[in-house]
Structure 1
Amino acid sequence: MKKIMVTGALGQIGSELIAKLRSEYGTDNVLATDIRRTNSAIEGPFEILDVTDTNKMHTLAKDFGADTMMHMAALLSAKAEEEPLFAWNLNMGGLMNSLEVSRELNMQFFTPSSIGAFGPSTPKKDTPQDTLQRPTTMYGVNKVAGELLCDYYFHKFGLDTRGVRFPGLISYVAQPGGGTTDYAVDIYYKALEERKYTSYIAEGTYMDMMYMPDALQAIVDLMEADPTKLDHRNAFNVTAMSFEPSQIAASIKKHIPSFEIAYDVDPVRQAIADSWPDSIDPSVAIAEWGFKTNYNLDKMTADMLLKLKLKLSA
């Protein structure tokens, strides 16, 4: 990767991915794009882009001289259930456009999939890399279709497509963006601000999670991996930990003993969570490109509370 174009650059992952890529490859070598420019402090190349506008996407990529496309623009799980038609048009239309532009300009390509690509009939524990995928959400349908499309573009056109199945991602930088796993971000804010949190996910509901620094490093490591060693290329299972709400609360209480957790379950997001695995098996990613993580639950909690305290006091 030398010149990288990123869609959805102001989103939950994109906003931190831009900083990571610019630190690795240089500010002027990373073009950030999004549908609007917010007050987020993004320095360096930035362009407005609606990912459903193929012509503009092509023009921006060509003019920038991009050799890599990272397509991060998407509507997340809970939001997608509220507006399924919009989710289909945005998630699938944007992906198709970015794949086509990457094919036309012979770019390397990355897009993330998700544990949302699994469904209630998928094995719940140590979910393998290759298994039954019958999701019951629009977001999940989008992700499965996206995995297949990326494989298709690799086999049909030789496009260097790569991707991972992200679990819930936890970050102190970006606010929650409408995902089912976002409780595991919001709980840290509430712990510092109110010393209590009411979870919309039921106690005992396990889901896979990763701390954002590990997720960003995984993207870079996969994109830099030797292509001859990638048998799967797309939708690699990656994870760092699996926990349920009371466990993250217990980790927080080690730093804030007065913290309390309560429950008021949201049936929509709970149904989504129940359809996903309790834990997934990342052994294929480990074997094919050396995937690894640095953060477990307690190490992540300590860092989240420290960084959020600084952020909130500022």
Structure 2
Amino acid sequence: MRKKVILITGVSGEIGQALVNSLVKQTDLPIIALDIAPIPEALHSLVIPMQGDIMDKSLLSRLVSEYEVDTIYHLAALLSTRSEFTPEAAHKVNVEGTLGLLNLAAEQSDWRDEPVKFIFPSSIAAYGLPDLDTKTTYTRVREWEWNNPRTMYGCNKLYCEQLGIYYSKYYRQLAADLPVMLDFRCLRFPGLISAFTAPSGGTSDYGPEMLHHAAQDKPYACFVREDVRIPFMVMPDAVKSILMLTNAPKSALKHSVYNVTSFSLSAAEFRDWVLKYFPNAQITFQPDVKRQAIVDSWPADLDDSAARRNWAWQPDYDAVRSFDEYLVPNIRQRYQAK
């Protein structure tokens, strides 16, 4: 008899580590933690660590031969900046890797006669507004608006959202006997900020990079203009939203893809928050025209009213609480300990 488990891919990243620490408090199921990078030592007592590539079909075959996968949190991805330098590699990891896991979830759903939940974090990068005038006019964008991404990462995420919807609603639709469909649920995140892991090179990381540099007394040259504005969310709210969506009754969900957000700041406002706590911080603005253009194509804010209506989403952290209670105390402690 195979043991029922939860699978998390990309567990060594920012979201993955935070998710494990919250998920173990809510479930009795074992958690398989899969990542191509070494699994952090701090997680080893909480999970079944498995270092490997999501593209390795033999690894996935061995996994399903031993375990019954109940829920998949698919976090593994090449992020936006790196994807621009290696678009073919990004497509392979972000799309083909996701497709392989969707196939696994579809087969497992049919095999056990019960849907596998497939939780997929998407991104503000799935949007693409054509110019700053449009960005000013459409300040809070809904899920179906301006889905015209200008980055490989955004294209990958948007396509994988559609793949997930296909596998959850239309997979093998011409077959004589319809299979048990997987249960695909997706969140579109704003820029995410963690106090416990360093920024990993995403295009929205100029905000957290300000904080982490200031806490180390290092100067920071911000690669966007002062007036650029996008939404943000701290990691505890990101994990909260993932778990809320996972636990929401299927009957309450009117959509497969949901925006979630917390607060919106311009780069100058973000700098001002940093200076409030680190008055000697050396933050300058040296816009990179190409990266700036990417951020300019993202909405100034996300409309998350559907999530609030359907599954009672509400962030715990606004900008004030994010800086006062989560970001500044923990980032200070992180670097004082070194």
Report TM bin, short chain: over 0.9
4+ long deviations beyond 4 Å: none
Residue 137 in structure 1 maps to residue 138 in structure 2:
no
Aligned pairs (5 A) from 1:1-314: 3-26=5-28, 29-37=30-38, 40-43=41-44, 44-106=47-109, 107-121=116-130, 124-157=138-171, 158-194=181-217, 196-233=219-256, 235-302=257-324, 303-314=326-337
More divergent stretch after superposition (62-71 vs 98-107): 62-71
TM-score of the two chains, using structure 2 as the length reference: 0.87
Query: Shift of the alpha carbon at 1:66?
Result: 2.2
Larger Rg: 2
Q: Which runs of 5+ in 2 are unaligned?
A: 110-115, 172-180
Q: Is the contact between residue 210 and residue 274 of structure 2 (CA under 8 Å) also seen in structure 1?
A: no
Q: Is the contact between residue 249 and residue 260 of structure 1 (CA under 8 Å) also seen in structure 2?
A: no
More divergent stretch after superposition (154-163 vs 17-26): 17-26
Q: Is the contact between residue 54 and residue 101 of structure 1 (CA under 8 Å) also seen in structure 2?
A: no
Query: Shift of the alpha carbon at 1:266?
Result: 2.0
Q: Is the contact between residue 49 and residue 57 of structure 1 (CA under 8 Å) also seen in structure 2?
A: no
C-alpha distance in 2, partners of 1:202/1:300? 23
More divergent stretch after superposition (62-71 vs 219-228): 62-71
Amino acid at match of 1:155: K
TM-score of the two chains, using structure 1 as the length reference: 0.94
Q: Is the contact between residue 248 and residue 297 of structure 1 (CA under 8 Å) also seen in structure 2?
A: no
Q: Is the contact between residue 10 and residue 77 of structure 2 (CA under 8 Å) also seen in structure 1?
A: yes
Q: Number of residue pairs matched?
A: 311
Q: Which runs of 5+ in 1 are unaligned?
A: none
Query: Shift of the alpha carbon at 1:40?
Result: 4.6
Q: CA RMSD in A?
A: 1.7
Amino acid at match of 2:186: G
C-alpha distance in 2, partners of 1:12/1:82? 21
Q: Is the contact between residue 129 and residue 146 of structure 2 (CA under 8 Å) also seen in structure 1?
A: no
Q: Is the contact between residue 198 and residue 212 of structure 2 (CA under 8 Å) also seen in structure 1?
A: no
C-alpha distance in 2, partners of 1:288/1:62? 36
Q: What is the CA deviation profile of residues 31-81 of structure 1, one whole-angstrom value per residue up to 9, with x for unaligned ones? A: 111013155532231112211123322431442332001111000111100
Identity percentage of aligned residues: 32
